[in-house]
């Protein structure tokens, strides 16, 4: 089942069939990653450029490993060493990289919409690896794939997403994807971190963390970024932790077998307490391994090798 | 037809036969890059070190892709992470890298002559990837190869090179190479950016941009570096653009089918106007793709696999 | 002969048999590095992560080349681009990388003990690539392997280690390994750079450089770090050079065929004079090549492919 699109720019517009095609490809690749020989040749002769204008160890490494395990030729470009400093505009830089015979360009940028804009100028397939506060589709796909593997399906599943929704591309992509797959999503955050009109995206919205977590099958917490701290959105990291952090008491409102998820990196003791992060319900490291498998699947589908 | 030299340090001393050997190798590699399977094994088991003391996204990536598409083992070293900081001298660093079983070392350095000096101490073949204001031979080769592909030959061709000649290793290497191949080169720049004695290199020299461009088959503009701005070489970027930038009006003096070239990154609206950069005569992105092919050819020839 | 341990954290605890197994593996790999085809497939399908929290060009490149020449999938992570900046703790970062299907993690960190701590949390094999002032086992192994190749054995060999012993993980690892193999080690340093209780490690200790070098079969000098200069440990770099630097006069006290070694990068004119560094007794560049071979051997043994 091929992906009927050239790029993966977001979960918006990705059909149920497209998502399932990616999950099927991830399945096979996850099995490969669990063996002693994590290498295929399906992308041999394809060129993958990782273009990161924003630092991200785990996402860059995850895509790099995905590409290399598939036999692709992988090259990294990070902003500090780039022509950005020389005053070249973004589209020119991208078109130059494109002209170096790129097949796929994985793009992370601090501004929302950059991968979309660039995709209109490039021959290479574009994968959005996180753009500003907009989307991060492979993160949502790996989250959803992890839920699928643990819960067996999405129908009627109640997924609570807690934390800084306003600034989270992860929340936005998950909300779109989970809705497509038939899960019920409840969003919970301090009022200052809730985007206006978020309820129009088809989810339940609350500022009551307990109400959100109650009867949840999945509880996903989001990273609180320290730089949000002194701009009046919440009083302090400590108070955030007390009122909105996920500890065992708050988790007890969820179903007993609820999954605990986090996109990482975790601020322990802030949005997530260690007893929960390291507890039996946590699938956080499973998310990480699935991330490589999902990205392998996405790359294969975009390159048309499935 | 092999290259009868161990290193590629500059266009100076590179014979017509050597240049043609590189073009033949590039031809085959360009065809490979145009396919869906951009991978050969001609350099499998060879070790390529990219040693960049000066930032250059596009040149580093171009060499990295060239090496990897040929199956070589490629490792990057950039100055900020290097032993430079620990006070080790340049020759010792290079000899150390050389001793790690390197076959080719691609060296970019902000000081003229560094690749030449290092080559005397190394077993590995050295490729000069740009040294100070001196030479940048693979850039000249990719420029010349692009001209050859578009124009079919060099005999009697009139090539105008416009801009900051004084500080340009690209101009110097092109001037040497184009002269070897029988083209007529005219150099045009503000008087403050013309090297004294440049006419001794066998080219026409003028400060009149229109005279330079008139009847040209190729118009190559050079990047103006912002850091030159406040040292009295020209009044301002705006005035430079007005008087010396290549727009459609200035281009109209050239032959109707003249090629527009630029080594990148472009300062749009300064040395090159967007209507020309993106116009039908522009072969700027073609230069980029040919750059990978040329570097593949150079690496193969220096490794003796042709 | 396999290595009966999962990790290589230090020379402490590494048996004579373990060391010999590594030397045997290095032998075969050194022969490979001396050919024109420096590539095997023994680690194909294995994933190697180079995790460097401290800059080190040569060690990182040496491990990267070792892994790539064995066909492994190699990915680098360096601290400045890491999640460290985002406040993630060290163990979480490592567990995340581990979860990306890593087989081996090569870890360099400025704090002593970090690889040991991390190894307790990881599925991947851990190689200590230098931790604070503690150990640097692959450096000691490559030093010892170089001695073995030049001298044929260790029994009764007198090895003088000169310089900043106090801060040197290289000295500590060599002392442990050389003692295991039956060499006699003499440590010589200014009194301020000698660790208290160093004699308990089974070596001769002196502040008299000539006494140390006398009748030595091997003279190993250590790098003096400039940052030690103004904290009262020695008067100045110049005086250090005069009193403790290895020049031809001091070397004349050693056996005529004594080897001169240095782990690099060298401060020429400080701990080592150029006439000795570049003299016939110097095996410094041989150490570098052997370093790649040793690391290839260690990686193969830890991955169980021998």
- Do B75 and C65 make contact, defined as CB atoms within 8 angstroms? yes
Q: Which residues of B touch C65 (CB under 8 A)?
A: 47, 73, 75, 100-101
Q: Which residues of A touch B33 (CB under 8 A)?
A: 101
- Structural domain boundaries, residue C244: 137-284
Give me the sign of the Cα torsion angle B87, B93, B96, B97. positive
Using the predicted structure, report yes or no on whether residue A2 has a pLDDT greater than 90.
no
Q: Do residues A154 and A39 share a domain?
A: no
In the beta sheet, which residues pair with residue B161?
B187, B220
A162 contacts A219 by C-beta, under 8 angstroms: yes
Testing the interface with A: which of C68, C71, C75 to mutate, by most A Cβ within 10 A? C75
**Residue C305 touches partner A, C-beta closer than 8 Å:** no
Q: Which residues of A touch B264 (CB under 8 A)?
A: 83, 88, 92, 96
**Residue C42 touches partner A, C-beta closer than 8 Å:** no
**Residue A100 touches partner B, C-beta closer than 8 Å:** yes
- Do C39 and B82 make contact, defined as CB atoms within 8 angstroms? no
Using the predicted structure, report yes or no on whether residue A230 has a pLDDT greater than 70.
no
Per-residue pLDDT band at B234 (split at 50, 70, 90):
confident
Model-level pTM? 0.96
Give the pLDDT of residue A272: 97
| Helix (H) / strand (E) containing B251 | helix B248-251
Can you say how many angstroms the Cα of residue A237 is from the centroid of all Cα atoms in its chain?
24
- Do A265 and C87 make contact, defined as CB atoms within 8 angstroms? yes
Rounded to an integer, the average pLDDT of A285-296 is 98
Pair of tokens at residue B51: 């040693």
- What length does chain A have? 306
Q: Where are the extended beta strands (E) located within chain B?
A: 47-52, 73-78, 104-109, 125-131, 158-162, 184-188, 204-206, 218-221, 259-261
Q: Which residues of A touch B58 (CB under 8 A)?
A: 83, 96-97, 100
The rounded percent of chain A whose pLDDT value lies above 70 is 95
- What length does chain C have? 306
Per-residue pLDDT band at B121 (split at 50, 70, 90):
very high
Distance in angstroms (rounded) separating the CA atoms of residues C42 and A56: 31
Which candidate from B45, B46, B101 shows the least CB-CB separation from C289?
B101
Q: How many other C-beta atoms lie within 10 A of the C-beta of residue A15? A: 12
Q: Judge whether B280 lies within some domain.
A: yes
Lowest-confidence segment of A242-256, B23-37, C213-227, C255-269 by average pLDDT: C213-227
Testing the interface with B: which of A41, A75, A76, A104 to mutate, by most B Cβ within 10 A? A75
Using the predicted structure, report yes or no on whether residue C83 has a pLDDT greater than 60.
no
- What length does chain B have? 306
Lowest-confidence segment of A196-200, C51-55, C226-230 by average pLDDT: C226-230
Rg, chain A, Cα only: 19
Give the pLDDT of residue C200: 86
Q: Which residues of B touch C60 (CB under 8 A)?
A: 81
Using the predicted structure, report yes or no on whether residue C82 has a pLDDT greater than 60.
no
Give the pLDDT of residue C196: 85
CA of A81, closest CA in chain B: separation in Å? 6
Q: Judge whether B6 lies within some domain.
A: no
Using the predicted structure, report yes or no on whether residue A85 has a pLDDT greater than 90.
no
**Residue C237 touches partner B, C-beta closer than 8 Å:** no
Q: Judge whether B113 lies within some domain.
A: yes
Across chain C, mean pLDDT equals 94
Using the 8-state DSSP alphabet, how is residue C135 labeled?
B
In which order are the strands placed within the sheet that holds C204-206? C204-206, C184-188, C158-162, C218-221, C259-261
Per-residue pLDDT band at B111 (split at 50, 70, 90):
very high
Give the pLDDT of residue C85: 59
Using the predicted structure, report yes or no on whether residue B243 has a pLDDT greater than 70.
yes
CATH number of the domain within which B246 lies: 3.40.50.1370
Q: Do residues C224 and C142 share a domain?
A: yes
Q: Judge whether C1 lies within some domain.
A: no
Which candidate from C34, C268, C288 shows the least CB-CB separation from B100?
C288
B80 against B297, higher pLDDT: B297
C86 contacts A224 by C-beta, under 8 angstroms: no
Per-residue pLDDT band at A227 (split at 50, 70, 90):
low
Give the pLDDT of residue B232: 73
Using the 8-state DSSP alphabet, how is residue B85 labeled?
G
Give the pLDDT of residue A141: 98
Q: Do residues A52 and A157 share a domain?
A: no
- CA dihedral (B166, B169, B170, B175) in degrees, to 10, reads 70
> Does residue B109 sit in helix, strand or coil?
strand
Per-residue pLDDT band at C281 (split at 50, 70, 90):
very high
| Helix (H) / strand (E) containing C185 | strand C184-188
Q: Judge whether A4 lies within some domain.
A: no
**Residue B99 touches partner C, C-beta closer than 8 Å:** yes
C80 against C260, higher pLDDT: C260
Q: Do residues B283 and B144 share a domain?
A: yes
Rounded to an integer, the average pLDDT of B165-183 is 96
B232 against C82, higher pLDDT: B232
Give the pLDDT of residue C229: 65
3-state SS of chain A?
Answer: CCCCCCCECCCCCCCHHHHHHHHHHHHHHHHHHCCCCCCCCCCCCCEEEEEECCCCHHHHHHHHHHHHHCCCEEEEEEHHHCHHHHCCCHHHHHHHHHHCCCCEEEEEECCCCHHHHHHCCCCCEEEEEEECCCECHHHHHHHHHHHHHHHCCCCCCEEEEECCCCCCHHHHHHHHHHHHCCCEEEEECCHHHCCCCHHHHCCEEECCHHHHHCCCCEEEECCCCHHHHHHCCCCCHHHHHHHHCECHHHHCCCCCCCEEECCCCCCECCCECHHHHCCCCECHHHHHHHHHHHHHHHHHHHCCCC
Can you say how many angstroms the Cα of residue A185 is from the centroid of all Cα atoms in its chain?
16
Give the pLDDT of residue C227: 67
Distance in angstroms (rounded) separating the CA atoms of residues A204 and A199: 6
Rounded to an integer, the average pLDDT of A194-211 is 91
Q: Do residues C62 and C141 share a domain?
A: no
CA of C155, closest CA in chain A: separation in Å? 40
**Residue C61 touches partner B, C-beta closer than 8 Å:** yes
**pLDDT tens digits along A112-123:** 999 999 999 999
Give the pLDDT of residue B85: 59
- The structure tokens 């004579």 sit at C16
∠ CA C174-C175-C178, rounded to 5° = 75
Number of alpha carbons in the 13 Å side-chain half-sphere of residue B162: 30
Rounded to an integer, the average pLDDT of B39-63 is 95
Beta-strand relationship, C73-78 and B73-78: unpaired
Pair of tokens at residue A6: 């050239």
Q: Do residues B145 and B269 share a domain?
A: yes
Per-residue pLDDT band at B107 (split at 50, 70, 90):
very high
Per-residue pLDDT band at C202 (split at 50, 70, 90):
confident
Q: Judge whether C80 lies within some domain.
A: yes
Across chain A, mean pLDDT equals 94
Q: Do residues B265 and B162 share a domain?
A: yes
Using the predicted structure, report yes or no on whether residue A78 has a pLDDT greater than 90.
no
> Does residue B221 sit in helix, strand or coil?
strand
Q: Do residues B298 and B274 share a domain?
A: no
Per-residue pLDDT band at A80 (split at 50, 70, 90):
low
A160 contacts A254 by C-beta, under 8 angstroms: yes
**pLDDT tens digits along A167-190:** 999 999 999 999 999 999 999 999
Testing the interface with A: which of C92, C104, C300 to mutate, by most A Cβ within 10 A? C92
Using the predicted structure, report yes or no on whether residue B229 has a pLDDT greater than 90.
no
Task: Determine if the peptide bond prior to C265 is cis (ω within 30°).
Answer: yes
CA of B200, closest CA in chain A: separation in Å? 32
**pLDDT tens digits along B123-158:** 999 999 999 999 999 999 999 999 999 999 999 999
Give the pLDDT of residue C170: 96
Per-residue pLDDT band at B265 (split at 50, 70, 90):
very high
In the beta sheet, which residues pair with residue A184?
A158
Q: Do residues A263 and A157 share a domain?
A: yes
Given a contact as 3+ CB pairs under 8 Å, which chains touch A?
Answer: B, C
Rounded to an integer, the average pLDDT of B199-223 is 95
Q: Judge whether B3 lies within some domain.
A: no
B85 against B221, higher pLDDT: B221
- Per 3-state DSSP, chain C is made up of helix, strand and coil in percentages (nearest 5) of 45, 15, 40
**Residue A228 touches partner C, C-beta closer than 8 Å:** no
Lowest-confidence segment of A198-207, A215-224, B186-195, C79-88 by average pLDDT: C79-88
Give the pLDDT of residue C3: 82
Distance in angstroms (rounded) separating the CA atoms of residues C117 and C128: 11
Pair of tokens at residue C282: 């110097």
Buried b (16+ CB within 10 A) or exposed e, C257-287: ebbbbbbbbbbbebbbbeebbeeebbbbbbb
Using the predicted structure, report yes or no on whether residue A57 has a pLDDT greater than 60.
yes
Q: Judge whether C10 lies within some domain.
A: no
- The structure tokens 């009748």 sit at C215
CA of C5, closest CA in chain A: separation in Å? 18
State chain B's maximal CA–CA distance in angstroms: 55
Give me the sign of the Cα torsion angle C96, C97, C102, C104. negative
A296 against B2, higher pLDDT: A296
Per-residue pLDDT band at A143 (split at 50, 70, 90):
very high
∠ CA A92-A93-A99, rounded to 5° = 85
First to last CA, chain C: 7
Distance in angstroms (rounded) separating the CA atoms of residues B126 and B124: 6
Give the pLDDT of residue A156: 93
Give the pLDDT of residue C236: 83
The residue among B36, B278, B264, B221 whose CA lies nearest residue A96 is B264
Q: Which residues of A touch C101 (CB under 8 A)?
A: 33-34, 38, 65, 69, 289, 292
**Chain A with chain B: Cβ pairs closer than 8 A:** 79
Using the predicted structure, report yes or no on whether residue B59 has a pLDDT greater than 60.
yes
- CA dihedral (A115, A118, A124, A125) in degrees, to 10, reads 30
Rounded to an integer, the average pLDDT of A25-49 is 98
**Residue B31 touches partner A, C-beta closer than 8 Å:** no
Residues 6 or more apart whose Cβ sits within 8 Å of residue C181: C16, C19, C144, C154
The rounded percent of chain B whose pLDDT value lies above 70 is 95
Which candidate from A77, A87, A100 shows the least CB-CB separation from B292?
A100
Task: Determine if the peptide bond prior to B44 is cis (ω within 30°).
Answer: no
Give the pLDDT of residue C232: 73
Pair of tokens at residue A163: 């934390």
Q: Do residues B232 and B148 share a domain?
A: yes
Lowest-confidence segment of A268-272, B230-234, C183-187 by average pLDDT: B230-234
Q: Do residues B122 and B234 share a domain?
A: no
What is the number of domains present in chain C? 2
ipTM rounded to 2 decimals: 0.95
Q: Do residues A49 and A87 share a domain?
A: yes
CA of C278, closest CA in chain A: separation in Å? 35
- Do B93 and C266 make contact, defined as CB atoms within 8 angstroms? no
Lowest-confidence segment of A184-188, A240-244, B197-201, C94-98 by average pLDDT: B197-201
Pair of tokens at residue C33: 């590095």
B196 against B86, higher pLDDT: B196
Q: Which residues of C touch B75 (CB under 8 A)?
A: 61, 64-65, 68
**Residue B73 touches partner C, C-beta closer than 8 Å:** yes
């Amino acid at each position: 089942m091929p992906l009927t699109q050239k790029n993966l720019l977001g979960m918006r517009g990705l059909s149920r069939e497209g998502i399932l095609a990616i999950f099927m490809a991830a399945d096979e690749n996850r099995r490969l990653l669990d063996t002693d020989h994590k290498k295929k040749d399906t992308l041999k002769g394809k060129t993958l450029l990782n273009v990161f204008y924003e630092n991200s160890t785990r996402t860059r490494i995850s895509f790099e490993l995905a590409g290399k395990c598939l036999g692709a030729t992988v090259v990294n470009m990070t902003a500090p060493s780039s022509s950005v400093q020389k005053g070249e505009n973004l589209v020119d830089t991208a078109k130059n990289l494109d002209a170096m015979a790129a097949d796929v360009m994985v793009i992370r940028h601090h501004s929302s919409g950059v991968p979309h804009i660039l995709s209109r100028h490039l021959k290479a397939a574009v994968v959005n690896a996180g753009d500003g506060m907009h989307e991060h589709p492979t993160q949502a796909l790996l989250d959803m794939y992890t839920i699928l593997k643990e819960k067996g399906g999405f129908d009627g599943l109640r997924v609570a997403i807690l934390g800084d929704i306003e600034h989270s591309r992860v929340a936005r992509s998950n909300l779109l994807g989970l809705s497509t797959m038939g899960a019920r999503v409840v969003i919970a955050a301090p009022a200052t971190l809730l985007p206006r009109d978020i309820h129009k995206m088809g989810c339940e919205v609350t500022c009551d963390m307990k109400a959100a977590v109650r009867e949840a099958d999945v509880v996903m917490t989001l990273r609180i970024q320290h730089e949000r701290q002194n701009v009046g959105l919440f009083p302090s990291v400590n108070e955030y932790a007390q009122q909105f952090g996920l500890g065992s008491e708050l988790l007890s409102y969820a179903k007993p077998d609820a999954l605990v998820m986090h996109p990482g990196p975790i601020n322990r003791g802030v949005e997530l307490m260690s007893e929960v992060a390291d507890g039996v319900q946590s699938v956080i490291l499973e998310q990480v391994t699935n991330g490589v498998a999902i990205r392998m699947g996405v790359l294969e589908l975009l390159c048309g090798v499935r």
